[in-house]
Structure formats: structure tokens, C-alpha cells
Structure 1
Amino acid sequence: MDHNFKFLTLPHRSGEVANVFIHGYSAGHDMENRCKLRKYIPTSLHNCINIFAFWPSGHWAQFDSASSSGVAALTRINALAGAGAAAIDRAMHFNSSRNRATDMGKQLLGQLERYLIKHHPYVSKVNLVGHSLGGRVVVGALLDLLDKPDYEGLEVGEVLLMAAAAELSAEQAQAIRQRTKCKLYNAYSEDDRILQLNLGEDSIGRRPIDNFEDVMNVHMKSFGHTDYWENLEKVLRKSRFHGYTGGLPRSNQPEPVIKDPDPVVTDHLLYDLLELTSDRIRGQVAKHLRSSSWTKLEAEPALYPLTQELQLLGGHCLVNLARGRGLKYVQILLMLAQHYGLVNELHDCAQVVEMEALLISKCFHSAFGEKHLLASRQDIFQHLEAMTEQGYFEQVDALAASLTVTSYFSTPEAPAPAYRKGDSTLPSGSTEIALASASALSALSDLIPTERIKAAVTNLKSAVKPGYSALIPAVAILFHARLKLNNEGLL
């Protein structure tokens, strides 16, 4: 299991203090949830650098192949036995995540320091905010410092534990306080029923830390376990957390509640991107969507139908037809990542643009082999930046051609890439790399290696699945648009 954090600095950063937010169990597990968590950080938390630290916390609904097959086998024999096995498996899964949280805590400050040196070398102090098992990560990091008296790394200023699924005695809290000089806030609620499932421990997320006056116990009356992120502003205000007490005053105007939000307009990562990008790029997206018989688009579609048709290509066409809507853009990306077997790599993606880069580089690799200039996730940003826009569109056209059934009876090749004149960022000889197709049946004799066979099978599935041959190149164009627009709120 990966023990690396994926850090993401949120927009509107300033100052020399970093607030680091750490999620708990069944959170931060996919891009959709990561985008949701990011929105909970209030804009009034200013004069700080706000960073989310994503870790492989696991999710209660995600079974590995061994667990799912075992539960399924017992269910076929007896439904109650299958339900019992599923409950036991999930309990073991949580316990595994709980142990991992402790281990991740020992890695936190070291990995965070390396990230800050690279991206924010002027940061002098960090504040830590952890929810649920994220609180356990923070506690683990602080307790680990007690065993490192010579550590002279990051200075910890304030620590806010929210519904922490961890134990911490007054003696331990006092030792942490003496070691780090940090301010410690414990936001708790006795109404938190979820923490009762943290068997074998008396979680501080349900009680105050007694007998130690330097801990500020913040009683969040009637809070359930999942209420903290949605009400983060209230928790920060009540605890007087750093960077918030000096923030903007809370508006007296209630936020508008939108009933039955339009799934097209509210898909900001897609709708807003298409709205802000150029007509030329929208035209390229529409061109690829029209290549599918599953879409009905005019020659120059308006923004709304263009977004709607792209959403409808995601998921199952009959299900979409029945419910009257398609998938959100991040759900489409996850669907394609599963199609290309990239689920394990998604932990390294904290932004949508990183997820797109992972997916698009895999598409080019699968279609044209590892020597294609856009087949490397590490290099795709550099090469796309150096290419002319028309040159990239030609590469995407070649990718689209490789995703059709007819490509298996021909040998489509990617054209030589066109770069901007005078660009000096490219490796020497890069334009001379061969770009041979890996998908044609006529070249099947070259597909003996297992990876190439898998690539050929995946390409065939892409060609025959409804809408995929149009959806994949459309996503490639959107990836280009997102990079060119470089809007932090849409990355």
C-alpha cells in the first residue's frame, strides 16, 4: 500500500503560514470527492497558504478482488452469511486504514517539508487540521516528534482535531505542547455515533481532553461525524483557529439554496471551461462528439447542448436516457480511468488536469506505443506546451482514428508533431521518433508481449463501446483547453 501523501495547494494563497487539511476514512478516495473537499475551505481563511494532504485512507464501499469474490461466493450459498462476511471484511478494512493512519502520521512532516521546500520555500510555520482518521494522522505525527528530540524541521503552530478517531491522554497532550509549543484544539461531539464504531479506543472526537488546561476543547453540540467539513467555517470560528479570526466578517446574507440544480450548468469543470475557452476549441470538441452516432449536435452547437451531449456519452446510454442526464465530467474521467486500468494511479492526481494528463498519455501510449511523444505522463505537459495548437489537434485526430473499428483493418499512424518555431524546450531529435500504430490487426504479429496485447484489447473495447471513440478525443481537447486557460479554479 502506498504511504505517500499527495499535496495540493489551493488557490488564493498568500503569507508565510500554511494550513494543512487532512481528511479521514472514506474521503479523498477519488477526484469527485477531492473536488468536494476543496470547496469546504472557506475563502475567509486568508493570509495563509491552504494545502490539502490526500492519503490512501480507503473507502468502506471499495472491495478488493479477493474480498469481493469471497463475499459473493458466501452470498450465493446463504444471504445472511454473505452479509456477515461483508460486515467482518469492512471492519477489518477500517482497522487496516486505522493502522495505516498511524503510519502515515510518521511520514507527514517529512513529506510535507519536502513539498514546501519545492513549492513554498518561504513558509515558516504550519498549522494542522485533521478530521476523523485524519486527526489520527496528525496525532501520530505529533507523537512521533516526541521520539525525535533532535528534529529541527517544520514549526507546528496550531493543531485542530475534528472528530478525531484517536486516543490522546492529558499527559501526551502536555508532552506534545512542551515539545512543539503548539496550540491544540479538540473539536468534539458526544452525538458522534460513527466514532462509537472505533472499537477498542476512547476517541477524543467524542469527549474533551481533561486535566490539561493548555488544550482548548471545542464542544460542537449536536454535530454528527460528517458535519465538520460542511460546517468548517463554524468550527474554525468557534475554535478561533489561526488565519480565521482575522478573516473577513461573515456575511449576514444567507447563501441562496438552489432547488433541483441543473446538472449541466453546475458541472463547472466542464461547462465553465467550455464557456471560457475559444470557439476554435469548442469546435474541435463538437467535431469529435458528432463523429459518434450516439450524439445529435448541430454544426455549431451552443454551449449548453455541447456540454449536455458530452455528459450523455458518459456511463450507460440507456440509463442516461431513462434518467434524462449523463455523468458529471469527473465521473466520466473516472469511468475512462477504470477502462484503461488506471485506478491505482489516481492517488497521484490531486487536480483534474493531472487526471486528464494521466488518462490522455495512456490513450496515446495504448494507441501508438511508448515512443509517442504524448505517451509519457511526465513529459506530456512539456510537449503540449511546445506544440502548435493545430499540431496537437492533428495528434488528437490520429488518436480518434485509432479508436474506430475500421482502424483494425488499416495501419493509422500519428502525423509528425508540429512545434512552435524557435521553441527550445524540446529534447534533441524528438521529432524523429517513430509513431507506429499498435492497434491494427495487420500488425497483430508484433503484439506478442503481454502489455501490447492488453493495449490492443483495450483499443478494441474503446472502438466498440458506445461513444468511447468520440469521448476520448473530446477529453483530449478539453485537457488542452484547461492547460491553455490556466484558471486555478478549473484545474
Structure 2
Amino acid sequence: MNQKFKFHTLPQRSGEVANVFIHGYSAGHDMEDRCALRKCIPSSLHNCINIFAFWPSGHWSQFDNMSSGGVSAITRLNVLAGAAAAVADRAIHFNTSRNRATEMGKTLLQQLERYLFQHHPYISRVNLVGHSLGGRVVVSALLDWMKKPSDGKLEIGDVLLMAAATELSGADALAIGKRLKGKLYNARSSDDNILLFNLGESSAGRHEVENCVDVPMSGFGHTDYWPQLEQVLRKSGFHGYQGGIPALNQPLPTVKTPDPVFADHLLYDLLELTSGRIRDQVVKHVRSSSWASLEIENSVYLLTKEFQLLGGHCLVNLARGRGLKYVQILLMLAEHYDLVSELHDCAQVIEMEALLISKCFRSSFGEGHVLGARTDIVAQMDAMTEKGYFEQVDALATSLTMTSYFSTSEAPKPDYRTTAPARASKELTLISASALSTFAELIPTQRIKAAVTNLKSAVKPGYSALIPAVAILFYARFKLDNEGLL
């Protein structure tokens, strides 16, 4: 079981107090959801250091191969039995996540101290905010903290539980409160029916807990806390909020149906702010797809729209009138390259791009490629000239086309590390099945899989254009170094 937190400090930070936010079940599970959670942190907290602690909480819709296979088999025999099996499987899945939350909590403060020492050594006090199973993580962390003598290195100020999917007795709340330097708040709502599924426990998120500062959020459902976080902070009197900027009395105007192109700020804003030279490279690779119909070079809007349409299924895109958002395209490519299990370590889009692009170079040219290692791809890219990096992306783009399997490429040669030369994976795709069995001990299985994946990239519509275009966007994001777009 993965017990590693992925901490991420948000932009617009100041002060010497950190607010640490922990999400719950079916939240923070992918990059799109993590981006949405970050947007929920109000500007009134910009007087503090705001940190998200992402953990592998799981998602109700994520079935592993065994679960999906079993449910599908039962459904073929009987639809009602299949539905019952799906419900039972999800109940087991939630219980597993609930147990994981308890175990993760026992390691939270230790991992947090290491992160703060490395990134924010001046922080002396933290406030904790946990929602749903994130509240369970926090309570587990505090109960474990109570068993250990205080070393005085890190003080815990205010603790805010929101819709906490955990039991908390008055005695435990009293003991925790005595150790805290701030207050223990319990934001709860009796209208939160989702917590009724926390079977076998009386969730603190539905009722008042003795020795906690009671924060009743009348009418709140389970998913209302993050979008209305500022209201919860204001009503509780949370320490990190008191010194913040007062909320505006007038509601901000909202667009009910935002344009999906303008709304995709991780793509549209990046293309708008980057240099024309880099944008031209994106245009070049997007146009290389036979599925693209980009005609106007200097239109950021049309380029963004065309890029989105290359992602996903063309018929689905046609039916809904739009393509995929940039983070959804990255997830699609990550699934294609079997990287889903590694996405937990990505809290920013640029980290996801680094993971994906290093895998693409490694898959096409082997372990020895200069851009094939995720750990130092940024350093290697930074050391290259712009022209040199573009040439490597051109080589990658050529390796992802069907013609490269049957003709000699005229693209620039891949750049390998001097200490670990590697063979191009194209050779493997031309080996017959009998040869593969003969040389099974000589050819690593990973290289065979990489060759097959590359062939799939060449066959799938749009992939051979999307991957090099993402590589250019990765470079643009790194060079722009705009925290709001990372």
C-alpha cells in the first residue's frame, strides 16, 4: 500500500504559518481534480503558506482489472446481480480507502516535517484542514501525535474538520485540544447524507462533537465544503483566515457555459504567453496529423481548439462539439503509456508532462537517451539550446509515424548519453515472433513492450502529433516559469 503523500505548495504565499489541506475519498485522484481543488483555496488565505497533501484516496469509479472483470462476468449472467456486485465491490473499495486513511494519518506529520524542512524551513506552525476521509487522516495523525512526546520542532495551531468521515469522541477531542496551540473545529451538517455510507461509525461530520468548536453548516451536502471553503473558514473563525482579505459582499459574476477553449487556461494561456517561435513548433506538430485542419497560424484560439479535438474519440468530440481539456489529454496519453500508477507523484501539470515526455523518449530511443530519465529531464532540457531541443522533438515525432518503420528517417539523430548508448526500439518491431522466442533472454521485456506501444502510437489517430506537441508545450511551460500555469 502506497503511504506516500505528495505535498504541493500553492502560489501566492507569504508568512511563517502553513495551512495544510487534506482531501477525501474520490478527490485529488487525478490532475484535473487536483487543479480543481487548488482553485478552491480563497485569496483570503494568501497571507499564509498553503500546502495540499495529496494521498492515494481512490475513486469510486476506478475499477481494477479483477473487479471490472468479475462485475462484467456477473452482469452477463444477470443484470441485477451485476449491479449488486458492483455496489458490493465499491463498498469494499471505500472500506479499503477508509483503512488506508487511518494508516496514512500515522505518517502525515513525519512526512510533512521532512517536506517543510526541505522547502519551507522557516515554518514553525501548521494548521490542518481535512475533508471527508481527509478528516480521518487528520484525526489519525493527531491521535498518533498524542502518543509521542513533544519535541517542540513543529507546532500545530488550528485544526478544521469538514464533513469528517470518522468517529471522534469527546475525550479524544479534549486531549487533542489541550495539545494544540489553536482550536479544534468541527464543521458538520446533518444534511450530509453521503456520510451515512460510512457504515459502522457515527461520523463527526454529521453531528456535534463534545469539546470541539461546533461549526454547523446548515444545508451543506458532502461536496459543498470545497467550493464554499471561504464560507466555512469565515464561520469557524479559522486562524489562517482571520488575517486575510475580507470576502467581497457582491457575488462575482459567473459564466454559466464558459467557452471550453478559453476555460482551458493551462493550454490557451500558455500558448498566448509563449513566444512565437515555440508556438510555431506546436502548430507544426499539430498540422502533421491527418486529422487536423488548422489553417490560420496566428490564432491561439483555433490552435487550442484544434489541439483539444486531437484528444479523445473523434465521433464523441463531434457529438459534444468540443475536444478534451489539456489535463484530460495528458491523462489519456499517460494511460496509453501505462503511467497511471505513477501519476500520484505529480502535483503539477509540468510534473505530469515531465513524466510523460521522458517516457516517450525512453520508449522510442531506449534508456540511454538524454531526455529519457524523468529525474533529470528538466536539467537536460535546460542545458540544451532551443534548436537542439526542437531537433530532439522532431526525432521523437518521426519515430511515432508508420513510415519510420519502413523507410530511413531524415529527422535529426537522437541524442544519447555518452555513458549509456541505447538502440532504437524500432528494431524490435521488425523481429518476427519466432525470433522473439529465440532471443527472449537477450531482449528485455520492457523494450518489447515499448516497441509495441510506439507502434500503437503510430496507428492511433492524432497520437503521433499530440505527443511531440506536448513535448513543445512542456518546454514552453518550463521556459515561461509562470506559477499559475505550472
TM-score by length of 1: 0.94
Letter matched to residue 146 of structure 1: M
Q: 1:12 to 1:189 in 2, by over 3 A?
A: same
1:423 is matched with none
2:394 is matched with 397
Q: 1:411 to 1:57 in 2, by over 3 A?
A: farther
Letter matched to residue 413 of structure 2: P
Q: 1:301 to 1:441 in 2, by over 3 A?
A: farther
Q: In 2, distance between residues paired with 1:31 and 1:161? A: 24
Q: In 2, distance between residues paired with 1:198 and 1:342? A: 31
1:233 is matched with 230
1:298 is matched with 295
Q: Report if aligned partners of 1:410, 1:441 keep a CA contact under 8 Å in 2.
A: no
2:384 is matched with 387
TM-score by length of 2: 0.95
Q: In 2, distance between residues paired with 1:486 and 1:235? A: 33
1:330 is matched with 327
Q: Report if aligned partners of 2:369, 2:417 keep a CA contact under 8 Å in 1.
A: no
Backbone CA RMSD of aligned residues: 1.6
- Does the residue aligned with 1:185 lie in a helix, a strand or coil? strand
Q: In 1, distance between residues paired with 2:320 and 2:96? A: 38
1:455 is matched with 450
Q: Report if aligned partners of 1:407, 1:440 keep a CA contact under 8 Å in 2.
A: no
What's the CA shift for 1:409? 1.9
Letter matched to residue 250 of structure 1: A
Q: In 2, distance between residues paired with 1:336 and 1:112? A: 31
2:34 is matched with 34
Q: In 1, distance between residues paired with 2:291 and 2:336? A: 19
Structure 2 residue 298 is matched with structure 1 residue 321 = no
Which of 413, 421, 425 does residue 434 from structure 1 map onto? Answer: 421
Q: Report if aligned partners of 1:414, 1:437 keep a CA contact under 8 Å in 2.
A: no
Q: 1:475 to 1:253 in 2, by over 3 A?
A: same
Residues 5-45 of structure 1: CA distance to partner in whole angstroms, max 9, x if unpaired?
00000001111100000000000000000000000000111
- The size of the alignment, in residue pairs, is 477
Residues 179-226 of structure 1: CA distance to partner in whole angstroms, max 9, x if unpaired?
33441010001111001111111111001112x3xx210010111111
Residues 108-141 of structure 1: CA distance to partner in whole angstroms, max 9, x if unpaired?
0000000000000000000000000000000000
Letter matched to residue 108 of structure 1: L
Which of 369, 375, 378 does residue 375 from structure 2 map onto? Answer: 378
1:421 is matched with none
Q: 1:253 to 1:150 in 2, by over 3 A?
A: closer
- Does the residue aligned with 2:240 lie in a helix, a strand or coil? coil
Residues 292-348 of structure 1: CA distance to partner in whole angstroms, max 9, x if unpaired?
110011262411110010000000012112221100000000000000000000000
2:413 is matched with 415
Q: In 1, distance between residues paired with 2:424 and 2:222? A: 52
Letter matched to residue 480 of structure 1: Y
- Does the residue aligned with 1:300 lie in a helix, a strand or coil? coil
Q: Report if aligned partners of 1:267, 1:329 keep a CA contact under 8 Å in 2.
A: yes
1:139 is matched with 139
Structure 2 residue 179 is matched with structure 1 residue 184 = no
Bigger drift between 443-452 and 335-344 goes to 443-452
Letter matched to residue 465 of structure 2: A
- Does the residue aligned with 1:243 lie in a helix, a strand or coil? helix
Q: Report if aligned partners of 2:429, 2:452 keep a CA contact under 8 Å in 1.
A: no
Bigger drift between 242-251 and 342-351 goes to 242-251
1:426 is matched with none
1:358 is matched with 355
Instruction: List alignment gaps of at least 5 residues for structure 2.
Output: none
Q: In 1, distance between residues paired with 2:74 and 2:242? A: 55
Q: Report if aligned partners of 1:145, 1:151 keep a CA contact under 8 Å in 2.
A: no
What's the CA shift for 1:152? 4.0
